[in-house]
Each structure stands twice: as C-alpha cells, then as structure tokens.
Amino acid sequence: MKISGSYTLPVARERAYQLLQDPDILAQCMPGTDHLAKIGPDEYEMKMKMVISAVQGLFGGKIRVADQKPPEQFRLLVEGSGKVGFVKGEGVLTLVPSDASTSDSSTEVRYEGDVQVGGVIAGVGQRLLDTTAKLVIRKFFEKLTELADEASVPAVV
Amino acid sequence: MIPQNFEYSQPNNLNEALALLAGGNAKVLAGGMSLIPLMKLRLAAPEHLVDLSRVTDLKSIREEAGAIKIGAMTTHWEIESSPLLRSKCPLLAEAASNIGDVQVRNMGTIGGSIAHADPAADYPASLLALEAQVRISSAKRERTLGIADFLVEALATALEPGEIVREIIVPVEASGTGVSYQKMVQPASGFAIVGTAARVRKSGGKVSFVHVGITGLAGKAFRAAGVEKLLAGTAGSAADVQKAAAVAADGVDANTDLHASAAYRRQMAKVYTARALTQALARAS
C-alpha cells in the first residue's frame, strides 16, 4: 500500500526536523504507544496498542531512521508484529519551509512511502487499511502540532 | 475460530442494560453482524458483552410530532419493510434494502450499524441527507446529537464509555420530495464502494431543496455541499445534474483499497451522484 501526503507544522524547519527525531516526542505522538526505547544509534524499539473500534491489537516493533540530511530529509523504516498481523514499511519525509513572506514560520512535511500489512488484520481489514492509515497519520501530526506549540514557548525564552 | 472467553449478560430492559454498561468495560452486542466475526477472528476480545436482544423498548418504529423515531435495535429488514417508513421516509427504507444480504438485514440493527461507523456503511449517506438525530443514553444522562456530529471519523463515533444509541430520529418527508439511494456495491462484502443518497423538492419549475449524502468515498460519510449548491435554483435538467454531480468528489481525500483506487472511486462518486439526483428528481412532483 502506497502512502503519501503532507502536513504543515507551525514551526521552523530546523525545529520540525528536531521534533521528528526526538524519541520522547514521537512516543507521545504515535497513537497507542506505551513504550519506546533507544536500542542503538538511530534505532528504537517500541510497543503499541492500537484500538480501532472493537478491534485491538498489541504490536511490538522497531523504528529506524536513515539517510539523514538535516534539516530537509530522512528515511524512516518501521516494522512491527503482533497476534493480529504484521506491518512493515519505509518512507521518506521531506521538510519544506513554507512561504517565507509570512511572519510565522511553518514547515510542510511531505511523506511518501510503502507499507505492507499482513496477517489476519490485512485479510479481514483490507477494505479499511487505507482509511485507518490516513487516520493514524493525521492523529500523529495533530498531536505533534500540539506538542510543538507547547515546546516552542520555552524555546523562545 | 472460537472467540476468547468473555462474560455475557442479557438484560431485560434498558435500565438494566445501562447499569451493566456503566462500568465502561462492557461492549454492547446488537445484531452482532460486525462484532461477532471480529471476535471469532480474535481481532476483538471484549471482556464482557451486554446483549441487547431482549431490550424490547429499543425495537420500535413510531411517528411522533412530525418525526419518525426508530429504536436502535430495529433490524434493517424491519426498516426496509416498515409501511410507515416506506410511505413517510422512503429514503431510509431504500437504504436499508441495500444493506448486505438478507441474513445480515434480518439480524443487523440500525443502532449497531451507526455505532460501528464503518466508512462504507449504507445508512450514513441517507441519515446525513435526512439530517437525522441520534438519541444517546447512559446511566447518568441523555443527549441528542445530529448525525454529522455523531459520526466522528472512520470507525469512531461521539459515543462515550457507558453510552448507547437509543433511537434514531428522522423527519417525516414533506410531500413532493423525491428521494433515491444509488450504490455501487462491492459484491463480496455488500458494502458500498460509493453510495449517494439524494432528497430533492421542486417548486415553480426550480429545484427548491436538495440534500445529498455520500458514503464509501472518504474516511467518513459526508454531505456534498458543493453538489447541493450547484443544483439548487436550477431547473434540474440533465445538464444541471451532470454539472452538479461533477463536483461530488471535489476536495475529498478518497479511499483506496483492492476493489477500487482513489481515482476510480472519485469517478464513481460522480456517476452515482448523478444517478441518485436524476432518480430523485424524477420522483419529485
């Protein structure tokens, strides 16, 4: 399944890049994450509990960041599995500064990737995978925007 | 596969049911057409099921003060075949007749369907076009929400723990209104690839009222405001319908799956919206 889109964060590009690489921030933004730990350089281990309607699945997995070109681009590799199925994917995130003429700096995060989902969840939920993926991505960025707002206050001081 | 063990309660009335649900851990079992398969696949493993099949106060269709109130446990078949709905709110009866197959329609309920909030379910398109209200109860309080506020996103509603859908309220259709629900069905699941519900009225040769709801296309069903705006005030000719239906998918982040790509879905949304409008206009007098 191909996934692509973009989301605009209300922070400057350097700050956006920094936020997207911060494990604590990421753990708070990914829906259902209850554990995220660094296990190597640019590599993290995580546990997630996804609850979508009546369906709930526990996933354990790894996230790796590669090909970093701060502050404009990095590659994200994700793999996870649980009783209900597995998820494996990778994508490239590109950070583009929005129109410089406005006084508030903001950054457009463009993402493009390919995700494979297998197991029971894929067989049964095929019809809903795309919708669900979009939902999870939107929630991630909404939460990140919220945290970026909070985090930006002390940064100014 | 056999579901995981769970506790099972079968309350005899609404108050008993609400008391059982007040803890927040129990899951409501209505017709079971979505929940039971998920449990058998062990994708869902609720600890406690509260089966509403004996709560007969939730099984009724009645007319009251210009509106029709449909109990949450009313089955799709009961809605499809209700003489009251067929004459006074035919759009909902037509939508119900398009759901799944006859077994699903005999077991599945309107309350269960909207509480599950599948983005390709048939009801939401019609309920949005009808500006339906959803009456919700818990042990502590009662509230009524418009269907647009009730459906939050794919598989998510405004229902809070302990709350159940009590009834769905739809208006008695004004005379002269033409309605239609046109659906492109995905044959294996019976769900809509896209489905459009339309309600129109004409007066003095012009379209004086038009409500359009679309399901299956996006993460949740929506009112097609662009289509309504373009059609309102026109003569409702074939060209007017085509022009209005052409914007059915504008600005929509369309779903993709094995059965239909986003581009195909967008195209079909236009086609089925045009069909629904054409038929509704033909039925309007």
pLDDT range class, residue A155, cuts 50, 70, 90: very low
Q: Quick check: B236 and B202 in contact, CB under 8 A?
A: yes
Give helix then strand counts, H and E, for chain B.
12, 14
pLDDT range class, residue A157, cuts 50, 70, 90: very low
Q: How far is A42 from chain B (nearest CA, A)?
A: 32
- Please, which residues have CB within 8 angstroms of residue A100's CB and are 6 or more apart in sequence? none
Chain B residues near residue A134 by CB distance under 8 angstroms: 219, 253
Tokens read off for B164: 């159940």
Which is higher by pLDDT, B85 or A14? Answer: B85
Interchain proximity A131–B255, CB inside 8 Å: yes
Which chain B residues have any C-beta within 8 angstroms of a chain A C-beta?
A: 27, 34-35, 37-39, 41-46, 116-120, 153-156, 186, 189, 191, 219, 253, 255-259
For position A101, what pLDDT does the model report? 57
Q: Which domain holds residue A39?
A: 2-151
Q: Is A101 on the interface with B (CB under 8 A)?
A: no
| Residues B227-267 pLDDT 10s | 999 999 999 999 999 999 999 999 999 998 889 999 999 99
Residue A156: inside a domain: no
| A45-48: long-range contacts, CB 8 A cutoff, minimum separation 24 | A46/A80, A48/A80
What's the CA gap between B165 and A20, in Å, rounded? Answer: 40
CA distances from B176 to A44, B199, B203, B207 (A): 63, 10, 9, 12
Tokens read off for B275: 């069909």
- B281 membership: H or E segment, kind and range: helix B262-283
The full set of domains in chain B, from first to last, is 7-50 (3.30.43), 59-171 (3.30.465.10), 178-283 (3.30.390.50)
Model ipTM? 0.73
Residue A9: inside a domain: yes
| Residues A73-95 pLDDT 10s | 999 999 999 888 898 999 999 99
Per the structure, the count of domains in chain A is 1
What's the CA gap between B227 and B272, in Å, rounded? Answer: 12
Report whether pLDDT(B183) > 90: yes
Interchain proximity A53–B156, CB inside 8 Å: yes
- B103 membership: H or E segment, kind and range: helix B102-107
Residue A64: inside a domain: yes
Q: Quick check: A57 and A63 in contact, CB under 8 A?
A: no
For position B114, what pLDDT does the model report? 97
Residue A13: inside a domain: yes
For position B27, what pLDDT does the model report? 93
What's the CA gap between A152 and A19, in Å, rounded? Answer: 11
Give the CATH number of the domain where residue A38 resides: 3.30.530.20
Q: What is the mean pLDDT of chain B?
A: 96
Q: Quick check: B211 and B217 in contact, CB under 8 A?
A: no
| Least confident stretch, A18-22, A52-56, B54-58, B111-115 | A52-56
User: pTM of the entire structure?
Assistant: 0.88
Q: How far is B197 from chain A (nearest CA, A)?
A: 21
| Residues A114-153 pLDDT 10s | 999 898 888 777 888 888 888 889 999 999 999 887 765 5
E strand residue ranges, A2-157: 2-9, 33-40, 43-52, 55-69, 73-82, 85-97, 107-118
CA dihedral B228, B123, B93, B98 (to 10 degrees): 100
Q: Is A131 on the interface with B (CB under 8 A)?
A: yes
CA distances from A72 to A12, A29, A111 (A): 11, 20, 12
| Residues A33-73 pLDDT 10s | 888 888 988 899 999 888 777 777 888 999 999 999 988 99
Chain B residues near residue A135 by CB distance under 8 angstroms: 153-154, 219
| Residues A2-13 pLDDT 10s | 889 999 998 889
